[in-house]
Chains A and B, each alone.
Chain A
Amino acid sequence: MPTKDVVVGSRIGLHGRPAAIVVKTAQAQPVTVRISTGEKAPVDARSIIAVLALGAHGGDTVTIEASGDGAEAALEAMAEVLAKDLDA
């Protein structure tokens, strides 16, 4: 399954506005994107509650994964928003 490691670009981490934007981006993808940090199991990136519960901070590395048609493009799109400082 295609995966990608991304460093969280938002200084405040994945909460507030950045978390909402990441979740909305995941919801717009044709495939399910899952996201994980360190030791925690991957969660559905379309779930705001699950994404918040990751507790990812700015500078942390997260892993995203997806499979099926359009998986690569979905990972590209997700990596782009994750790497940006969305709170700026």
Chain B
Amino acid sequence: MPEVLRGLGVSPGRTAGPVHAMGTPPVLPAVEPEVTSAGEERERAAAALAFVSATLDELAGKVTGPAAEVLATQAMMAADPTLADAVSAKVGEGSPAAWAITGAIADQQEAFVALGGYFAERAADLADLRDRAVAWLLDEPMPGLPRPGVPYVLAADDLSPADTALLDASVLAIVTRRGGPTSHTAILARARGLPAVVGCADILDVADGTTLSVDGGTGAVAPVSAAEAEAIREEALAAKAAAEALTGPGSTSDGHAVPLLLNVGGAADLTGDAEGVGLFRTEFLFLGRTAAPSVVEQESAYRDLFEAAGARKVVLRTLDAGADKPLPFLGLAEEENPALGVRGLRIARGQPSVLAEQLEAVSRAATATGADVWVMAPMVATAAEAAEFAALVYKAGLQTAGAMIEVPAAALKARAILSSVDFVSIGTNDLSQYTLAADRMNGELADLLDPWQPAVLELVATVASAGKELGKPVGICGEAASDPLLACVFAGMGISSLSMSAPSVPAVRAALAAASLADCERLAQLALAAPDATSARKAVAGTL
């Protein structure tokens, strides 16, 4: 393959190395073979599960932290007596070993999915152990990470959460055939600071071992010589070291402050040198619950983070649930179109007590800690909704109320919304999905979900100028804020703060420090004038 492959760059940085593809899961033959001896099939099934359990235990011993726990639990599942009984029963009904395991696991997955939340995620663990057992039975290569023993570029169709838990330091970059800018792969890669390209159609046609350069900014993937690869890696290391050597608050080269905040799910995600929290997701408290957590329990969880933040600002997002992120106690009906349904702030229409109790808990925790707490609602569509929410926030005794701008209607009416709240924060992931009418979960539409899309940039600029006009802060807390080039573009539009995961901060800080506010304003004009996402990115990258 002499030519350059193209995908969507979703996690910036450049590197190079040999490519190795993820093992693909085995597929059962269309024709189910006749079982001649149920006893033999039972033995084969048991041997396959024992093999999987031993392999996973061995993998668990090689890693540490949460990944080790996930693997050890998975090993226990493979050795589970309940599963063994279910498989044996399926063999008794006439299924060969591989089919019996597939069927028994499908039943169990259904039970887990019905429980929702954490339990539903275990369904993916079961799928992984089924694939391993079936591969062993069919004598096919094991699915999973390639482990070539040298630093490598990982190629895959898409990555599952279990795959990503196992990524080790030998992975230089990730290139996937599917996936969009807000896919699991993209978010994980940014969180780890790994260059990543998604939606790269031909990546799985490249022979294992081919040396490739990967540019997670432009999305270019190209074959290079070993010597070139070495040079690219050294250059990348030097750039990374230079970025990490810079510390302190975010600002342009001429001193225009752009605070760099963190997106967190709890106190553990808050690093010491961050300027504050730009998005505190509170869903973790509610997941997998059959009843809403009490005010006292919520207060204690919020206090943990507020105490860790000290004098630094914390922007808390109230519960963001819906039919796509179901919570059993809300009893929300299934919807044809959950992304457009009762979610976020809209839940308070039918069940105001969940929001009222959350605000009460936040207020108590804020009073107890003296923290600088800003509260914002997800999925605000109209100025009236924003005003109602702000009234509830003030009534709870909190000072600063805001709205997320995720719905195009809210972006278009940003002036009216900002008139009734103290600040807004743009969620670029949902704003892209709703503006381009492209499902975030659909990898085939990755190009439409690109935050460089002119329509999305124009909406961001509209909101930013409303903020400047009214003298109220407009932040960005979507994944787009972690793109160093877009960070400069946003600063140039007048965005007042950027919030991202901790590993993205050094590169964004370095990019801002290298440009003056006037430079950023020029970049914003270039991006806004471009006819499409690719040329916008190219124009900005070419100027810096």
Residues of A within 8 A of B (CB): 13, 15-17, 19-20, 23, 43-44, 46-50, 52-53, 55, 57
Given A15-B118, A48-B76, A48-B80, answer yes or no on A57-B290 (Cβ-Cβ < 8 Å). yes
Cross-chain contact of B288 among A17, A46, A53, A57 (Cβ < 8 A): A57
Give the interface SS of chain A, mostly helix, strand, loop or mixed. helix
Q: Which of B34-70 contact A (CB under 8 A)?
A: 69
With most chain B CB atoms within 10 A of its CB, the pick from A13, A19, A23, A55 is A55
Please give the distance in Å from A54's CB to the nearest CB on chain B.
Answer: 9
Q: Is the CB of A16 within 8 A of B73?
A: yes
Please give the distance in Å from A9's CB to the nearest CB on chain B.
Answer: 15
Total chain B interface residues with beta-carbon distance under 8 A: 19
Q: Is the CB of B83 within 8 A of A49?
A: yes
Q: Is B77 an interface residue (CB 8 A)?
A: yes
Please give the distance in Å from A66's CB to the nearest CB on chain B.
Answer: 16
Q: Is the CB of A23 within 8 A of B115?
A: no
Q: Kindly list chain B residues whose C-beta atoms are within 8 Å of the C-beta of A13.
A: 288
Q: Is B472 an interface residue (CB 8 A)?
A: no
The distance in angstroms between the C-alpha atoms of A55 and B288, with both chains bound, is 8
With most chain B CB atoms within 10 A of its CB, the pick from A13, A20, A50, A52 is A52
With most chain A CB atoms within 10 A of its CB, the pick from B77, B82, B111, B290 is B82
Q: Is B72 an interface residue (CB 8 A)?
A: yes
30 contacts between A and B (CB under 8 A): A13-B288, A15-B118, A16-B69, A16-B73, A16-B118, A17-B69, A20-B72, A20-B73, A20-B76, A43-B82, A44-B81, A44-B82, A47-B80, A47-B83, A48-B73, A48-B80, A49-B77, A49-B80, A49-B82, A49-B83, A50-B80, A50-B82, A53-B108, A53-B111, A53-B112, A53-B119, A55-B115, A55-B288, A57-B289, A57-B290
Please give the distance in Å from B293's CB to the nearest CB on chain A.
Answer: 10
Nearest A residue (CB) for B121: A15
Q: Is the CB of B73 within 8 A of A19?
A: yes
Residues of B within 8 A of A (CB): 69, 72-73, 76-77, 80-83, 108, 111-112, 115, 118-119, 122, 288-290
The distance in angstroms between the C-alpha atoms of A52 and B116, with both chains bound, is 12
Give the interface SS of chain B, mostly helix, strand, loop or mixed. helix
Please give the distance in Å from B74's CB to the nearest CB on chain A.
Answer: 9
Given A48-B76, A48-B77, answer yes or no on A20-B119 (Cβ-Cβ < 8 Å). no
Q: Kindly list chain B residues whose C-beta atoms are within 8 Å of the C-beta of A50.
A: 80, 82
The distance in angstroms between the C-alpha atoms of A15 and B287, with both chains bound, is 13
Q: Kindly list chain A residues whose C-beta atoms are within 8 Å of the C-beta of B83.
A: 47, 49
The distance in angstroms between the C-alpha atoms of A20 and B76, with both chains bound, is 8
Please give the distance in Å from A59's CB to the nearest CB on chain B.
Answer: 9
The distance in angstroms between the C-alpha atoms of A53 and B112, with both chains bound, is 6
Q: What 4 new A-B contacts, CB under 8 Å, besides A43-B82, A49-B80, A57-B288?
A: A15-B122, A20-B73, A44-B82, A52-B122
The distance in angstroms between the C-alpha atoms of A50 and B86, with both chains bound, is 12
The distance in angstroms between the C-alpha atoms of A47 and B85, with both chains bound, is 11
Q: Kindly list chain A residues whose C-beta atoms are within 8 Å of the C-beta of B115.
A: 53, 55
Please give the distance in Å from B460's CB to the nearest CB on chain A.
Answer: 38
The distance in angstroms between the C-alpha atoms of A16 and B122, with both chains bound, is 10
With most chain B CB atoms within 10 A of its CB, the pick from A13, A15, A48, A53 is A48
